Chain A
Amino acid sequence: MNHFDIKSAISGININAEWIGLREVRESTTYRVIRDGKPQANSKDTTHGVMVEVLSNGQFGYYGTHQLTRSAIQKAAEKALKQANIASKYSLHHFTDKVRPIAKGKYISSYSQDLNTYSAGDLNNLLLKAYDKLKLSDKIVSAFSLFRFVESEMKYVSSNGSDVEQKLLIISSDFSATAQDGIITQTRTDGGLMANSHQVGMETINEDEILQNAEKVSKQAIELLTAEECPTGKLPIVLSPDQMLIQIHESVGHATELDRILGDERNYAGWSFVREKDFGNLQYGSKLMNITFDPTIEHQHASYNFDDGGMKATKEYIIKDGVLLRPQGGMESQVRSGMQGVANFRASSWNRAPIDRMANLNLEPGESSFDEIISSIEKGVYMESNRSWSIDDYRNKFQFGCEYGKLIENGKFTKAVKNPNYRAITIPFWNNLKMVGNKDTFKMYGTPYCGKGEPNQAIRVGHASPVCLFEDIEVFGGV
C-alpha cells in the first residue's frame, strides 16, 4: 500500500476525541469485455483512500480523504472533530464507543490461484471464444462476454484497539445474447446481469463450462423468438435461484434493514412496512421460509469477518419458520433501537460512512426435489433470471420480470414462454410459499450493485436460494 502505514497514522493523530478510527481501502476493479467479437473494455480502476472517523460529544464526524500522509490525516481528524462538535447540538442519538467494539483479526477470500494466472491476452482470447459460442446464428444481433475482477484490501484501526485486515478477491462473469427476428427481440444472459459474482480465484475459470454456458444462453435467446407470450392469470410460479436473488433482496433484504425501519432512508429508497414491534411476531411467510444473514460462507459474494464498525460476523436467522425474528442492523442501529442485530454496518468504500446493508442473505434449503416441485403443478410458469425489478418505498408492492419462462402443464414442462412477469405484495406472497427446493436445487448468486444511502453507496451483496414454488400469483407477459 505505497508508503502509507495506517497504524503509524493513527498513533500520530493528536485531537481531543472520545474515539478515533481509520479505515483504509484500496480496491481495484478490472473489466474484460468482448462485445460483438471486438474488445469493448480492458480497464482497471483503483481507488485508494482513508476514512477518518471521530466521536465527540456523542456524535460521529468523518472525513474521507485521498491524501495519504500523516499531516493530511491529522488535518482530516481535526476537521472531522469540528464537524462532530458542531453537529452534536442536533444529534439524532448520543453514541459512545460501545458502537465501535474492539475487533482484531484477518480475513482473506478463499482461493488458490490469483489474477496473474491468466494474462489480459488469455482472458480476451477466452472471451472471444465465448463470443463465438454466443453468436450461434445470424439471428443473434448482439452479444457480449465479460469478466469483472475485484481485488479489495481494507485495514481498520481504532483508538480503542481494533486492528483488522480483510482482503477479498471477487470474480464476476456474464454472457449475453440478443436475438432478433423481425420486430421480435429477446435477450438471454447467464443468470441475470453479473449474478455470477463470487469470492473465488482463477482456479474456477473453466473454459469448457464457460463455452457450454455461452452456447446455452444463445440457444435460449433464439428459442424465445418463437416462444408464446407468458400467459396472464393467477397461477403458481416456480422461481429459479437466479430470480430468487432479487426476490429475497427486494422483498426481505431491504425491508428488514434496521436503519430503514428506524427511518434513516425515508428520503431516498424509502421506509419499510416492518416495524420494531413485528420482530418475534410477524408471520412474514409460510413455515417453509427460513432466511439467514451469513457473511461466513466460503466463496459467497459478500463474506467477511468483521463489518466496518468492527462487529464480528456470525450467521443469524432473520426469519425462522416464517416468523420475523431479527433485523439487519449494525451496532449503531442496535443501540438506537435496543434490539439485537447483525454485523452489517458497511461502507461502499473509503469515501462513505457505514450504514446498515445486506451482506449474504439467503433462503435456507427445504426438502423438495426439483421434480417433486414441477410434478405438483397442474398449470403454472417456471421463471429464470431477472431482467426487470421495481418495488415501492415500503417494500410492499413489487413487480419482477424474467428473461426466460417455461410453461408447466400437468406436472411437466411443455414449452418455453417469453416475457414472464409477476406482481404481488410481500407478506401474502411469502405466505404463498408452498414448496422449497432441497440442497440439490440450492445455488449462490450475488450482485455488485445494491444501491442505498445518502450520500449514495453501491455495495456488493450475496443471495443463495433453492428453487421455490409460490401459489396463486398474478402472472402476465409483454406488450
Chain B
Amino acid sequence: MKKLFNKISDALLNQISKDEHLKISFSGENSQFIRFSKSKIRQTGLVDEVSISLELIHQNKTCSGGITVTSDEKSDIANVQQELQRLRKEVVHLPEDPYIVLPEDTGSSEEEHKGNLLPIEDAVNALTPAMQGVDLSGIWASGKIFIGNANSAGQKHWFSTETFSLDYSLITSDEKMVKTTFAGSEWNQKDYETTMADSIKKLRMMEQPAKKLKPGNYRTYIAPAGVADILGMFSWNGISEASIQQGQSAFGKMRNENAKLSPLFGLSEDFRKGLVPRFNGNGEIAPEQLSLIENCNLENTLVSTRTAKEYEKKSNNAGEGESLRSPIMKTGTLDKKDIFQKLDTGIYLSNLHYLNWSDNIGGRITGMTRYACFWVENGEIVAPIETMRFDDSLYNFFGENLEEVDNVAKLNLDVETYEGRALGGVVCPGILLKSFSLTL
C-alpha cells in the first residue's frame, strides 16, 4: 500500500503549480471483525478500505476533498487528478483564510510495525473455545492499519502497524459484568487463554447480591480504565488551546482564574512508545514529550499551527482538533496490594460509562459506574454495587480530593472503530479519592 501511496502522491505533486500548495493524507485498514454475543458468533466479516484527502491552497484560499482509493493505480491516479481539478475550480470562489498553514518540509519519516497476527481463517477456532461455559459479549478486531502523509514542500511520512484486540464483557446470570481488553501485536494463544481464565475468575466475584447505595459523597478508588475515560474528556472542550480561546474549555479556569489541581496529578503527551505516529494531518512532527499539567498548573495546552497563527501562540504541532494523541498520566506511590486497605471503606470503580460535561466551563463531568464496581468495608470487598450516576468536578477529583495515585500506569488501548480502527490509547494509573459525588 505504501507503493500505491507513493505513486498517487507523486502523480499529484507533479501537477502542482508554483502558486499552489498541496497536502495529502492517506489512510486505510485491512481488518477482520468478529462480533460475539452469548459466547457465540453474531456477525463476522472483513473490511478493506483506503481513502485519500487533498488540501489545496491557492492565493490564501483553501479547500479540501477526500475520495475512496480503489487500489487500481491507473483509476486512482485519474480519480485524484479529477478531485484536484474540482478543488481548483472551487478554491478561487472562497474567502481568504488568514490562518492557512502552508506545507513545510521538516523531514520525512517511515515507521512500519509488523505484528504476528492470527491468520483470519484461524481466528474463530482460536478465540471461541476458551469462552464457552460463560456468557461473553464482545468484538474481535485484527489486521493492518496504515497512514501516509505528503506535501508539496517535499515532506513525506508513512506509518503502518499490525494489531489485534478482543474487547469483551463477561456477564453473570443476574447481569453483573466484568470487562477486559486483550490486545497487542504478537498473538500468543496461551496468554489469551490465561487472560480469559482470569476474567472468568473475576466474574465469580460478581456472583453475589448487589448493594444499593444512596446518593452522596464516598471515598472512592477509580481503576485505570475509568481514569482513562475521564482523561478522554480532556480531548473534548478540554486541553485544546483553541477551546480555551473560544470560551469552550474546562481548563479556562486554570488559565484565567488561577485554579489549581493537585500536585499528585500530572499529564503529558509522550510519543516514545510508538503506538501512534508523531506526525499530524499537516505532516508536522509533535515533540517526543510535552508536559501539559504539572505542579498544580496548566503548563501547556495542545496548540495546532493554525491556532498558533490565529491567537499568536507557539505551535506544538498538535493535530487540527487539538486532542490528546498519546497521553500519559504521572504515577504516584499507591501500591496495588495496598489499594483496598487504603480505600478502607468506600467504593471501588473498575470502569465508568457515558461521560459528558455537565458543566463544561466549570469542569464538572457526569457519567455512570459500570462493570466490576464494589462496596468495600475495612479494606475488604463486601458486595458489587448497583449502577450509580456520578457528577463531580475535575477540580475536585484531580484537585483537593485526590489522595493517592497508583505507582504503576496501565495502557488502556483505544478500541473504537467509528472512523476506522483507532490507534494508541491512554497510559494512566488508578486514583484514590477522599470523596466522589454520586447523585442518582
Query: Which A residues fall within an 8 A CB radius of B?
Result: 2, 34, 36, 38-39, 41-49, 59-69, 76, 79-80, 82-84, 86-87, 89-92, 119-121, 124-125, 128, 141-142, 178-180, 183, 185, 187, 262-268, 270-271, 351-353, 355, 387-394, 396-397, 399, 401, 419, 421, 423, 425, 451, 454-458, 474, 478-479
Contact = CB atoms under 8 A, between A and B. Distances in A.
A38 B360 CA distance: 25
A91 B128 CA distance: 11
B440 A266 contact: no
A62 B368 contact: no
A456 B417 contact: yes
Contacts, number: 252
Interface in B18-67: 28, 31, 33-35, 37-51, 53, 61-67
Given A39-B95, A46-B68, A48-B67, 13 more contacts: A36-B246, A45-B65, A64-B49, A65-B48, A87-B34, A92-B38, A128-B95, A183-B256, A271-B175, A388-B360, A399-B440, A455-B31, A455-B141
A42 B366 contact: no
Contacts of B168: 267
Contacts of B33: 454-455
A34 to B, nearest CB: 8
B439 interface: yes
Interface residues of B, number: 93
B41 to A, nearest CB: 4
Contacts of A421: 358
A56 B94 CA distance: 53
Given A66-B49, A351-B47, A392 B387 contact: yes
B139 A478 contact: no
B64 A43 contact: yes
Contact of B45 (A34, A45, A47, A353): A353
A66 B26 CA distance: 14
B259 to A, nearest CB: 10
B316 to A, nearest CB: 21
Interface in B67-104: 67-72, 75, 86, 90, 93-95, 97-99
A40 to B, nearest CB: 8
B95 A124 contact: yes
Interface of B: 28, 31, 33-35, 37-51, 53, 61-72, 75, 86, 90, 93-95, 97-99, 120-121, 124-125, 128, 137-139, 141, 167-169, 171, 175, 177, 179, 245-248, 252-253, 256-257, 353-364, 366-368, 370, 387-389, 391, 393, 416-418, 421, 439-440
B45 A64 contact: yes
Nearest to B35: A454
Contacts of B49: 49, 64, 66, 351
Contacts of A479: 359, 362-364, 393
Contacts of B353: 270, 392-393
Q: Which 8 A-B pairs have the closest CB atoms?
A: A479-B362, A62-B45, A121-B93, A142-B246, A454-B139, A45-B66, A92-B40, A455-B417
18 contacts: A38-B99, A42-B64, A42-B94, A64-B45, A82-B121, A86-B125, A89-B128, A91-B41, A120-B90, A120-B94, A183-B257, A263-B171, A264-B35, A266-B37, A266-B137, A392-B370, A397-B440, A399-B391
Nearest to B91: A42
B187 to A, nearest CB: 17
A48 B67 CA distance: 8
A435 B159 CA distance: 58
A185 B246 CA distance: 10
Given A86-B124, A392-B354, A423-B389, A264 B37 contact: yes
A295 B364 CA distance: 37
Contact of B139 (A44, A66, A87, A267): A267
A129 to B, nearest CB: 12
Report which residue of A425, A451, A478 has the largest number of chain B beta carbons within 10 angstroms of its beta carbon.
Answer: A478
B247 A390 contact: no
Contact of B247 (A60, A66, A180, A353): A180
A66 B137 contact: no
A180 B256 CA distance: 12
Among A36, A271, A399, A455, the most chain B Cβ lie within 10 Å of the Cβ of A455
Contacts of A87: 34, 41, 44, 124
Given A92-B41, A92-B42, A451 B418 contact: yes
A397 B368 contact: yes
B40 A267 contact: no
B366 A390 contact: yes
Contact of A84 (B44, B61, B248, B364): B44
Given A39-B97, A66-B48, A185 B252 contact: yes
A83 B389 CA distance: 41
B211 to A, nearest CB: 16
Nearest to A3: B75
A38 to B, nearest CB: 6
A454 B440 contact: no
A138 to B, nearest CB: 13
A388 B97 contact: no
B366 A399 contact: yes
